[in-house]
Structure formats: C-alpha cells, structure tokens
Amino acid sequence: MKHNEKKPKKNLKKLTLLHSNDMHGDFLAEKADDKLVGGVSLLSGYVSKVRHEEENVLYAIAGDMFRGSIIDSEFHGISTIQIMNMLSPDIVTVGNHEVDYGVAHLLFLEKCAEFPIINANLYIKTNHTRLFDPCKVIEVGGMKILFIGIITEIALQQCKMDKLIGTFITLEDAAAEIGRICNTYNAIDVDMTVLLTHIGFEEDQKLAELLDPAWGVDVIIGGHSHTFMEEPFVVNGIPIVQAGTGTDEIGRFDMVIDTDKNKIDSYTWKPVPINNKTCPRDTAIEDMILNYKTSTDEKYGRILTKFVRKLTHPSKIEETELGNLFADMLKDALGVDIFLMASGSVRKKELGSVVTKGDFDGAFPYDDAAIVTYWTGAQLKHGIMRMLRDETLTGEHTEFYQLSKGLEVEYDQKTHSFLKFDYEGEPIDENRVFSVGLQEYHFKNLVDSFDLKPEDLKKNHSYRAVATSCAEVLEEMLQNGQHQDAVVEGRIKINLQ
C-alpha cells in the first residue's frame, strides 16, 4: 500500500448481547437492604430499557428456566412459559431442569413458547431424531448470529429415567457436533457464533479447548454451575461467561462485529445487578405473576410447623442444619438404617422459623419416590468415597449427600482416605448389610453418584419403593412436630487440602 493511500474501512456494527441462566422460577423481587433485588418484572424492565436504548439487541437464556418456585411447580412450567413469553428472549437452550416434568411435557411446553428453544444433542435413540432444532441463525442489524445449544449427559442425568431419550456422552462428541454445525453454516456468511451451553463452568472450559478455531466459535454463554463472574474467562481465545443464578443479575456484552471478517472486533462484558434503583418495573408482567401468586397463596399459605429458629442450608457441599433435619425425618419415617438425601434437593438457603406449605415446597420442590436399597459397610465406604471425589468438593460435580443420624465420617482430601467412618459410635462393619434410603432420581444415578450398580446391591437384598413421595413424607413429619431444631454436628467432616 502506498503511503498516501487510505486504509480500507472495516465494516463494523454494534451488537448488545444480554444473557441469563438458571433462573429457576425466580419470578418475584426480594427486599435487600433498602432496595428490591431481582424478579422478572425488574429484569424485563432492564431488557426493555436496553432494547430501547441500543440499536441491535439480542437476549439469550442458557437453560433452567424451570423449577425452584411454587408458581412453576404448581402449573408444571406452563406459568413459566407464559411469563417467559412476556419477557421475550430471542433464543433459549435446554437445561437439565427443563425435563423435570418429563420429556413429553417439555415438548408440549415448547409448543407454548413464543421463542425458539434449541438443542443440538438430545435425540430419540430408536431413529436418532433430534428433539429440538440444533441451532438458529438470528439476523439483526444486517448481521447473522448463529446460536448452538449444547447439553451433555453429565448435566442431563434426568434423561436416564426415559430409556428412549439419549444425549451425547462426552464433550468430545459435543465438540464434533459443534464442528459439523459450524462447517455447515459458515457457508451462509455467519458473522458471529455463540454456544449456549448448560454443562457447567468447568466443562465449558474443557469444551473450549476442544474447539477448532477454524469453526469460528466466538463466545460461550453457559449455565448449570450457577457461576458468578466479574469478567469473562478466556480459553482458546473464546470468552466464557455466566450470570450466576436466578434474576438478581444479567450478563451484558457490548460488542463491535467486523462483518467483513465475520468475527468480533472488540467487546466489553459486565454483570449488571437487577434492582429497583437501576431497573424500571414491567407492570404488565408483574400483574401476570401476581395473578399466579394469588391463585397459589390460599393453598400454600397454611402453616405446617414452627421451628425453634431459622434453619440454614448455606452450601450444597457441606453438612447443613436443614439437610440433617430432612435426612433424619426420612430415615425415621421410612424405618431405614441410613438415608442419603441429595443436598441439591434443598433449594433455599434458609427455612423458618414459621414454615408454610409454600415455604416448604419452595425449599423442597422435588417429588421423588423413596427407594430402600441394601449396602454392605464396604459398599457404603466405597460410595461415600466416590461422593467426596475432588470434582464434588470443587463444585464441578454437585451430587453431594446429607447423612442421616448415626453415620459419622471424617475425610482427608489430601490423602483421599477416611480418618473415621463410624455407625452409631463404632467403626463400621464392612460385612454388615445396611438398609439405605435414596430418592428415586438418585437411585437411578447410582453409578455416577456412588460408583455402584443396582445389580450389585440387589445381591444383598432386593430394592423396593417404600414411599411414592419424599416431599409428602417430610410434610407429614413437619406437621406432626412443633419447635423442631437441627444443628450441624460433624456427621461429615472434610479436611480440605
């Protein structure tokens, strides 16, 4: 190029990309300090405000719109879809809780949705037919943005309950599918490619490493691990982001797209807090939510019990007060030696002191059957060792279990060994057979959670269902006792390395 010649101008266009994940039916704002925080009304107000202020705006949701609220559970997700229709995301991908009401019901809910739901790797096993469109190209401001939806079996264990439904097993399989889609759509002059994933932050990093730069993936917007971030985490040149959980914040990209080179020229990203100081209310969507709330208040406002004080569940990967209370109630009511209650079943960080049915259902929204199984002491030690693997303790793998009274474990992460494994005050007899209660979902995931197969346990004694609903058992136990209390008493101690 000669000195006096001008450089050719880039064809640059602005794009604002908003995103949420793991909303879990978090519809209502909550008071915090002197302001209202979160809620779909304020979230919708912010999205509408940005759509008005900026020229080219897209809003994406990376899975788990459902579960976690009474309004969602009472109407089996139909309320959520109607509320999301008013929120009007441009694109949504499937999360693991989207199948909680069954795959057939999810397909019905998709028909009710006025926005596209994508997923590249859920399929019917018999003929390998996909359940959803794998991707979608959205045109905005003269730009073509390709969105691809991805979930893997590590996140979607619920599908094991439906033998006709499958998903890709490994990240390598998912990466190969992404490559096929990108290679196909690159021919239509796609300006940017976004992966909408629901596999967790750690898995997103591994997936990014597997992606060939020639495929042109620009951004990964993730979910499942509820990761709060201050800035994007860049792997293989690809920024990875999440927006925590619920509706307390939203992620925001402000991008400049080079439409000649089909890539991002520059970007900034930030988490935006959703509160009434910074976000206008959407009164129309608020009225719809309040109508749903009014219809559920009468049913769910009755008082079940009163605790001595508020009981807490601050973390999914440690012993908690609520975890101990619920595990003990299930053990006592079902007459088993041990109940291993999934920590993730408790969806609130505190409960009480007055507990209404609505409070309880919000804290324990899952209605699994209870299965009694039979484990030797050696199998119990093996299963708990599997539960305490490093991936669980770092939050990468989240199936942690609350131990019922009588079982006391001390684990050293550095040596990966037990310093104590007692039952009723004595070292556990590895040959003794114990009756162990599990929620049905977790019984169906024995291999992943405990590295044990149902057929191995069946050699000790046949397993069977002893209750059709763990939630109903807990509700009955709560109603039968007032002034209940529970403390963290060292049932499971973990010496972190």
Mean pLDDT of 136-144: 96
From the DSSP assignment, how many helices (H) and strands (E) are in the chain?
15, 30
Indicate whether 162 pLDDT > 80: no
- pLDDT at 82 (0 to 100): 93
pLDDT tier for residue 486 given thresholds of 50, 70 and 90:
very high
Indicate whether 160 pLDDT > 90: no
For 301-495, the fitting CATH number among 3.20.20.70, 3.90.780.10, 3.40.50.720, 3.30.43.10 is 3.90.780.10
Longest dimension (CA), the chain: 89
Q: What are the residue ranges spanned by the domains of the chain?
A: 12-292, 301-495
What is the C-alpha separation between 184 and 441, in angstroms, rounded?
38
What is the C-alpha separation between 221 and 252, in angstroms, rounded?
11
Same fold, 12-292 and 301-495: no
Mean pLDDT of the chain: 90
Please report, rounded to a whole number, the percentage of residues in the chain having pLDDT higher than 90.
Answer: 67
For 12-292, the fitting CATH number among 3.60.21.10, 3.40.190.10, 3.40.920.10, 3.40.50.300 is 3.60.21.10
Mean pLDDT of 226-237: 95
What is the C-alpha separation between 29 and 297, in angstroms, rounded?
16
Judge residue 425's burial from the number of C-beta atoms within 10 Å of its C-beta, 0-12 exposed, 13-18 middle, 19 or more buried.
exposed
pTM metric for this prediction: 0.73
pLDDT tier for residue 157 given thresholds of 50, 70 and 90:
low
Indicate whether 1 pLDDT > 50: no
- pLDDT at 163 (0 to 100): 54
Indicate whether 3 pLDDT > 90: no
Hey, which residues does 144 pair with through a beta bridge?
A: 139
Please report, rounded to a whole number, the percentage of residues in the chain having pLDDT higher than 70.
Answer: 93
Phi, psi of 273 (to 5 degrees): -70, 140
Q: Which two tokens stand for residue 227?
A: 């990761």
Q: Which of 46-60, 64-78, 86-100, 303-317 has the lowest mean pLDDT?
A: 64-78
Which positions ≥6 away from 410 have C-beta within 8 Å?
418, 419, 420, 421, 492, 493, 494, 495
pLDDT in tens, 32-81: 777 777 899 999 999 999 999 999 999 999 999 987 777 888 888 899 99
Burial state string for 382-405 with b = 16 or more CB within 10 A and e = fewer than 16: bbbbbbbeeebbebbbbbbbbbbb
Indicate whether 210 pLDDT > 80: yes
Mean pLDDT of 418-428: 97
pLDDT tier for residue 398 given thresholds of 50, 70 and 90:
low
Indicate whether 240 pLDDT > 50: yes
Which run of H or of E encompasses 17? Answer: strand 12-20
- pLDDT at 2 (0 to 100): 43
pLDDT in tens, 102-130: 778 888 999 999 999 999 877 776 677 78
- pLDDT at 156 (0 to 100): 58
Helical spans, DSSP H, in 319-434: 321-334, 357-363, 377-387, 390-393
Instruction: Compute CA 22 distance to the chain's CA centroid, rounded to the nearest angstrom.
Output: 5
- pLDDT at 414 (0 to 100): 92
pLDDT in tens, 433-452: 999 999 998 998 899 899 99
Closest by Cα among 100, 494, 447 to 315: 494
Indicate whether 395 pLDDT > 70: no
